A and B are shown apart, each in its own frame.
Chain A
């Protein structure tokens, strides 16, 4: 049982001027599954490795259960980590791999065997205990890496993109297994991924990082509904939110010539912000085709039919330039490339100030 706290923790690599992780403040509750997500180079892995003790914290501190572990070596932190390439010990069998940490902790042989068997049972690894890692499939290796972590009953699980080397189908399956496992063990988990779908489906809360700076921490639903800034809005959601630069005219925002209805609240908030070029965002499912005539005129350029749903890319003329809006449609859409359509906004609109913050 453990809670984790980053207090203004930074990591500055020697020879670099911009910290890889910049004053990260983050509270992770006991038993929580927190996902760190961001594009490559955002510092998410570095943040995790700082918690593991594999990366020096150049300023600030990290606490596990109110104990300052900033300067402690990894072996004194009671954490277990699953690496992206699994990092199994090649010369050891599956059982030896899983029992390695216990052996280092001088746990008796019988006790060790029992704990390894128990973990192997949970992960369906019993038939493979005597095999070497090289004789296992990718999915089995991934489970051994998991087993090596859970066999120790650590305070915190650290996962560094553990599913990215699996094929798409296995990834989805393992994702749900992992969520279920974390829920049963009720152990705090910090999970790093670049895949926003993984972040949204797994995390109790999701922390979005960019350039080493924490952008927003919130539940997946909150992140999706109320992104704090333009980066989060564009990063979370698949396909991404339609985000266009819009010049404010007479306190109004127009998307491809059509004025957008804003709530009074948003209009007031936007009025309080200076500047002309704002960001306006609408999710694909909040755009609809209409036959009544009034709306944004466009031409279908791509139809992505996924079976249960479709996404249509529509070319529109926005402020003198051609832009593409993605519109969500039912799976059985009859629209094809080249069709002329009219789009209306049917749902929440996000407005971002010139400096990218949500208004």
Chain B
């Protein structure tokens, strides 16, 4: 009957260790899978970005260090694409934020058919990006059959080939149309989280409706606006489908993701160079995402 003597501390340590594994084990497969499909390709991309790899020559792939990166500052196409990315993201995020806030303010009141209208307003967000692009290109922007040009014609204005003449604006309009519902939902959550009696107190205290919005509602919405901006920016920085469908390879509306695809799988075949572009986009996205997460956690802390 010689049982090993285990101290109380040792017993507690063992229990804690077992408890730790009991929690970790269930998420381990998912974690390994995520690492396999995201981090390993990322490491490959990082490696490719340091080579001159292109698949249309017989020359062997050569390691060229950071040359791809140092050449970026003089690469006019890259700089153009980067600038378009910034313009497109900023305009689409701000536009959808303004439209979304307006819609949210209209929805944040009781009226007949409120739920139905809200569902209708959300639908653009549920449309696949490629389908949205085709719809707008063929049914709205088209010079011959498009609804917008039909309206313009009826008031005596000649047809405009929107996608050719204003490629960036055309893409941004579709992005705003698709992303306003997303912003609307976030802002609506913020509006409906407002305490009704606070608004009543403001009325009793003599505030006008604009004064109430500016002094009470807007400061309370701020974290929600920030959240919408950051989540929107993370998604809209990587738009590809809309550009491909609406303006295709035309200049003026090519953002970095589109340009990366063009330069690699899209026929450019310069995988090494395109990889370095990707790394730049990833770094920019990580910076934005980090700020976003910090805002998000700030929002959650405020609640508790």
Residues of A in contact with B (beta carbons under 8 Å apart):
52-54, 73-75, 79-81, 83-85, 87-92, 100-101, 104-105, 134, 148, 152
Contact = CB atoms under 8 A, between A and B. Distances in A.
Contacts of A85: 195, 197
Chain A interface SS verdict (over half): loop
A42 B211 CA distance: 34
A320 B206 CA distance: 62
Given A54-B200, A87-B200, A101 B220 contact: no
Nearest to B302: A134
B201 A87 contact: yes
A90 B206 contact: no
Interface residues of B, number: 18
B254 to A, nearest CB: 42
A81 B216 contact: no
Chain B interface SS verdict (over half): helix
B242 to A, nearest CB: 37
A91 B220 contact: yes
B263 to A, nearest CB: 48
19 contacts: A52-B204, A54-B203, A75-B204, A80-B204, A81-B200, A81-B204, A83-B200, A87-B198, A87-B200, A89-B198, A89-B201, A89-B215, A90-B220, A91-B216, A91-B219, A100-B205, A101-B206, A104-B206, A152-B205
Contacts of A53: 203-204
A89 B211 CA distance: 13
Give the interface centre of B200, B206, B302 by most chain A CB atoms within 10 Å: B206
A90 B198 contact: yes
Give the interface centre of A85, A89, A100 by most chain B CB atoms within 10 Å: A89
A75 B197 contact: no
Nearest to B219: A91
Contacts, number: 65
B195 A87 contact: yes
Interface of B: 195, 197-198, 200-208, 211, 215-216, 219-220, 302
Nearest to A73: B203
B101 to A, nearest CB: 17
A148 B205 CA distance: 9
A115 to B, nearest CB: 14
A198 B64 CA distance: 84
Given A79-B204, A87-B200, 19 more contacts: A74-B200, A74-B203, A74-B204, A75-B204, A75-B205, A75-B207, A80-B204, A84-B197, A89-B201, A89-B215, A90-B198, A91-B216, A91-B219, A100-B202, A100-B215, A104-B205, A104-B206, A105-B206, A152-B205
Contacts of B219: 91-92
A134 B303 CA distance: 10
A90 to B, nearest CB: 6
Sort A-B residue pairs by CB-CB distance and give the 3 closest, nearest first: A91-B219, A101-B205, A87-B197
B204 A54 contact: yes
A169 B202 CA distance: 30
B204 A104 contact: no
A149 B205 CA distance: 9
A2 B111 CA distance: 38
Contacts of B195: 85, 87
